């Protein structure tokens, strides 16, 4: 009789607990955030409008010039996670170079100084990324962080060409520039862009970037990049 009683209690407990156990097993498990890695190539440029300045000397000045459009080529890796609102980080680097024929002009006396040379820059950066995907494949994003740039200025002219304005004697006019100078700059950068990813995993995008680098080359003057940089970006999802 006791054995029958125990069996009845066991069956009752099973009937009571089975639905709860089934409900627990049926609860959906929250999916892990989608994590995606992108490898990207950057093709860009910046317009250096009057960004180079030679210091004042006994002959006048200051003298300002542009080295023209500075091209950039580089690459980066970006990791994002999430679904529609995504977040992550990026890191990479690029180079810029330019053979220049710069014409410095003084606003005070109209004196013009021409310099020939070569400019080279290397930048490395790392920052956070916040992105929004309103439709499959379409991505809007903003990013920012620190950027470190090394730049070298190689002036080919031992004595730059000096052209005095009409009625101004050019005798004794000389502006000293060193043959080779380099400098480092660390600044925060910010950029924003839009990309579209195709079904194959390849993506194309456009990005605008701002990094206010300043370089001091001593008697060769100062370069200040206060302009926006524009990039075409080609990527591949891994």
Do the bridges between strand 202-210 and strand 229-237 make them parallel or antiparallel, or are there none, so unpaired?
antiparallel
Per residue in 186-213, pLDDT (tens digit) is: 999 999 999 999 988 999 999 999 999 9
pLDDT at residue number 57: 58
What single string gives the DSSP state of each residue in 16-65? HHHHHHHHHHHSPPPPPPPEEEEEEEEEEEEE-TT-EEEPPBTTB--EEE
CA distance 130 to 144: 9
Per residue in 61-86, pLDDT (tens digit) is: 667 777 778 899 999 999 999 989 99
Residues 6+ apart with CB under 8 A from 139: 86, 131, 132, 133, 194, 195, 196, 197, 203, 205
Per residue in 80-105, pLDDT (tens digit) is: 999 899 999 999 999 999 887 776 66
**In the predicted structure, residue 24 carries a pLDDT above the cut 50:** no
pTM of the model as a whole: 0.74
DSSP letter, residue 179: S
Domain assignments of the chain as residue spans, ordered by start: 36-237
CATH, domain range 36-237: 2.40.160.20
In DSSP terms, 76 is beta-bridged to 40, 92
């Amino acid at each position: 009789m006791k054995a029958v009683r125990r069996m009845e209690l066991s069956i009752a407990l099973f009937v009571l607990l089975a639905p709860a156990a089934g409900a627990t097993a049926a609860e959906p498990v929250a999916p892990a955030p989608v994590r995606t890695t992108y490898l990207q190539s950057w093709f860009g440029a910046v317009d250096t409008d009057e960004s180079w300045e030679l210091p004042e000397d006994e002959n006048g000045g200051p003298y300002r010039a542009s080295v023209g459009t500075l091209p950039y080529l580089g690459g980066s890796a970006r990791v994002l996670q999430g679904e529609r609102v995504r977040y992550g980080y990026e890191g990479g680097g690029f180079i810029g170079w330019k053979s220049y024929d710069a014409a410095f002009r003084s606003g005070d006396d109209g004196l013009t100084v021409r310099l020939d040379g070569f400019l080279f820059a290397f930048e490395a950066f790392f920052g956070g990324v916040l992105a929004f995907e309103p439709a499959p494949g379409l991505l809007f994003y903003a990013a920012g962080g620190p950027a470190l740039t090394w730049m070298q200025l190689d002036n080919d002219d031992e004595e730059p060409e000096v052209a005095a304005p009409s009625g101004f004697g050019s005798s004794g006019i000389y502006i000293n520039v060193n043959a080779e100078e380099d400098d480092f700059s660390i600044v925060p950068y910010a950029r924003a862009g839009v990309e579209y990813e195709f079904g194959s995993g390849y993506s194309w995008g456009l990005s605008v970037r701002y990094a206010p680098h300043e370089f001091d080359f001593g008697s060769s003057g100062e370069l200040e990049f206060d302009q926006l940089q524009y990039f075409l970006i080609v990527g591949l999802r891994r």
